[in-house]
């Protein structure tokens, strides 16, 4: 049953309207001031606000403004007396659904109310669909409707509750850390630490003490005992990013932790036990690294208990629009103008689809964040996109192998020469035949051959 909020400072009037509308099968709530109405709206689901225009303290227009801030699509009907029609027009401009002149007959009121309520029912249905779609197309804050991403969501849901080691493969910026976090926060370890280490960011010695910690005096500068990341992650999850960069000696130590769940701090003799889940990630194909002898096979199998591949963005173009909208909403607060972005024009969208996104989702996110700051209007055009992105995107748009920054005259000469060479080859260097293939005169061809010094052995 739909609920109508009736607002009028004349109490009797609200009661009469309430009776009329309840007779029609609506549920009603009544308020005798704008503030009272806003209080009700905070706690109840309302499908329509029917308000008087002239009220002390907060008038109908002011109330309308507040309602629209809460829900821009909730319909508001203004009841107004003859003298205040101009105000009613102003209300319409500010987003009122309609106005009705007092005194009105019950039938007209009911027609207006039914129309508005019906319109809002459609809005609510769309919202519901959109919500259920967005939960289909996301797993926590990981977005994706493409088949490979849907498969990833399924695997995360299955592996998260276990404590199994997971290996995630994917190019930079494809969301490996996001997936690792999602596994952690959907596991029973969610209240324990999630610790991330980038194995390529530190030299071997530093990484060793970072991972395993060190005892006081273990090396110059080790002035006190320091716990390593393994200890910090005890009972939680340790995310080892860029695992393919781990040195051979650290690979051995990691293997021991995975097998025995024990280790010693650098410079220490005491064996420590830990309970951690390891999630490893790499932008290399680890199997190939094993074949090349760069990565231990036994460690590879220990890590690869469960395997997740995140495909590059260029291979899941159907996610681009969804991710773009997601990041537009995420960075909407960065808009200095306050004008909300409605979307992107066709040209900009095409560029997004054709671009190869070497930096994957991270690059897309950065482009959108900067565009949200730069774009003055409500539609993103190519002009609003960050300069260096446009340069990259256009340079990447090869036209039959011709880069976007190629000069026309040079390119035409190059193509002309290639076509002549090909025609000569096909015609076994018979110029008359080659000219026919090219659709030009024999003497014209001969001139070009001389100009470009293309063939000295040709048969006339
Ligand atoms: N599917 C996705 N949905 C929403 N945001 C995503 C998605 N994939 C990546 N991101 C965002 O892109 C950025 C990069 O993601 P993340 O750091 O997880 O990538 P990565 O693969 O671990 O990168 P690297 O290999 O460079 O460490 C983050 O801000 C992340 O939130």
Q: Extract the runs of DSSP E, i.e. beta strands, from 220-378.
A: 226-227, 237-241, 262-263, 272-273, 277-282, 306-310, 343-344
Give pLDDT tens digits along the chain (460 positions). Answer: 899 999 999 999 999 999 999 999 999 999 999 999 999 999 899 999 999 999 999 999 999 999 988 888 899 999 988 777 788 888 888 888 888 988 888 999 999 999 999 988 888 887 776 666 666 777 888 999 999 999 999 999 999 999 999 999 999 999 999 999 999 999 999 899 999 999 998 888 889 999 999 988 878 888 888 899 999 999 999 999 999 999 999 999 999 999 999 999 999 889 999 999 999 999 999 999 999 999 999 999 999 989 999 999 999 999 999 999 999 988 888 877 777 888 888 888 888 988 889 999 999 999 999 999 888 888 899 889 988 888 877 776 656 666 666 788 888 898 899 999 989 988 888 999 999 999 999 999 999 999 998 865 655 5
* Pocket of ligand 1 contains residue 359 by CB under 6 Å: no
Q: Are strands 262-263 and 272-273 parallel, antiparallel or unpaired?
A: antiparallel
d(CA 345, CA 240): 41
Residue 45 and residue 103: Cα distance in Å, rounded? 28
Q: Is the ipTM of this complex over 0.90?
A: yes
| Atom 7 in ligand 1: residue holding the nearest Cα | 175
Q: Which residues does residue 100 pair with via DSSP β-bridges, in sequence order?
A: 79
Q: Is the CB of 174 under 6 A from ligand 1?
A: yes
> Which of 174, 184, 199, 357 should be mutated for ligand 1, with most atoms under 8 A from CB?
174
Q: Could you count the other beta carbons within 10 Å of the beta carbon of residue 187?
A: 18
- The burial class, CB within 10 Å (0-12 / 13-18 / 19+), for 6 is buried
Report the atom number in ligand 1 closest to the C-alpha of 174.
21
Q: How far is the CA of 153 from the centre of ligand 1 (A)?
A: 15
pLDDT computed for residue 131 by the predictor: 67
Task: Answer yes or no: is the C-beta of 330 below 6 A from any ligand 1 atom.
Answer: no
CA of 177 to the centre of ligand 1 (A): 6
**pTM to 2 decimals?**
0.64
Complete domains list, the chain, with CATH: 3-133 (3.40.50.2300), 144-311 (3.40.50.300), 314-396 (1.10.8.60), 408-452 (1.10.10)
Q: What is the pLDDT of residue 223?
A: 84
The residue whose C-alpha atom lies closest to atom 30 belonging to ligand 1 is 175
User: Is there an atom of ligand 1 within 6 Å of 242 CB?
Assistant: no
Residue 221: what pLDDT?
81
Q: Is the CB of 124 under 6 A from ligand 1?
A: no
Q: How far is the CA of 253 from the centre of ligand 1 (A)?
A: 29
- Choose one of 312, 362, 364, 368 to mutate for the ligand 1 pocket test, by most ligand atoms within 8 angstroms of C-beta: 362
Regarding the beta carbon of 177 and ligand 1, being less than 6 Å apart is answered yes
């Amino acid at each position: 049953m739909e609920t109508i909020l009736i607002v009028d400072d004349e109490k009797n009037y609200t009661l009469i309207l309430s009776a009329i509308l309840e007779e029609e099968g609506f549920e009603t709530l009544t308020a005798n001031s704008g503030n009272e109405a806003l209080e009700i709206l905070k706690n109840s689901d309302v499908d329509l606000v029917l308000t008087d225009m002239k009220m002390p303290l907060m008038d109908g227009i002011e109330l309308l403004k507040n309602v629209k801030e809460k829900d821009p699509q909730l319909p508001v009907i203004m009841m107004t007396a003859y003298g205040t029609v101009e105000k009613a027009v102003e209300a319409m401009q500010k987003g009122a659904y309609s106005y009705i002149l007092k005194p009105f007959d019950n039938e007209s009121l009911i027609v207006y109310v039914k129309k508005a309520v019906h319109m809002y029912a459609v809005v609510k249905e769309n919202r519901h669909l959109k919500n259920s779609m967005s939960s289909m197309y996301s797993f926590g804050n990981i977005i994706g409707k493409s088949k490979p991403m849907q498969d990833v969501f399924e695997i995360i849901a299955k592996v998260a509750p276990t404590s199994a080691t997971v290996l995630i493969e994917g190019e930079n910026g494809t969301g490996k850390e996001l997936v690792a976090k999602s596994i952690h926060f959907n596991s029973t370890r969610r209240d324990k630490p999630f610790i991330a280490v980038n194995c390529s960011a530190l030299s071997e010695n530093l990484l060793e003490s970072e991972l395993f910690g060190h005892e006081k005096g273990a090396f110059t500068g080790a002035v006190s005992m320091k716990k390593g990341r393994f200890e910090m992650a005890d009972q939680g999850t340790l995310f080892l990013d860029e695992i393919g960069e781990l040195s051979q000696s650290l690979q051995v130590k990691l293997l021991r932790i995975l097998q025995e769940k024990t280790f010693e701090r650098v410079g220490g003799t005491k064996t420590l036990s830990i309970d951690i889940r390891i999630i490893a990630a790499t932008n290399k194909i680890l199997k190939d690294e094993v074949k090349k002898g760069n990565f231990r096979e036994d460690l590879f199998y220990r890590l690869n208990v469960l395997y997740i591949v995140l495909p590059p963005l260029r291979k899941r173009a159907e996610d681009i629009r969804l991710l773009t909208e997601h990041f537009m909403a995420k960075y909407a607060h960065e808009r200095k103008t306050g004008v909300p972005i409605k979307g992107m024009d066709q040209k900009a969208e095409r560029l997004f689809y054709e671009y190869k996104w070497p930096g994957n989702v991270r690059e897309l996110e950065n482009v959108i964040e900067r565009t949200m700051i730069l774009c003055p209007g409500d539609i993103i055009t190519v002009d609003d996109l960050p300069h260096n992105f446009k340069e990259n995107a256009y340079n990447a748009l090869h036209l039959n192998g011709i880069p976007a920054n190629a000069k026309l005259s040079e390119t035409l000469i190059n193509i002309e020469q290639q076509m002549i060479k090909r025609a000569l080859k096909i015609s076994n260097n018979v110029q008359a035949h080659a000219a026919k293939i090219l659709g030009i005169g024999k003497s014209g061809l001969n001139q070009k051959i001389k100009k470009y010094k293309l063939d000295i052995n040709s048969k006339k």
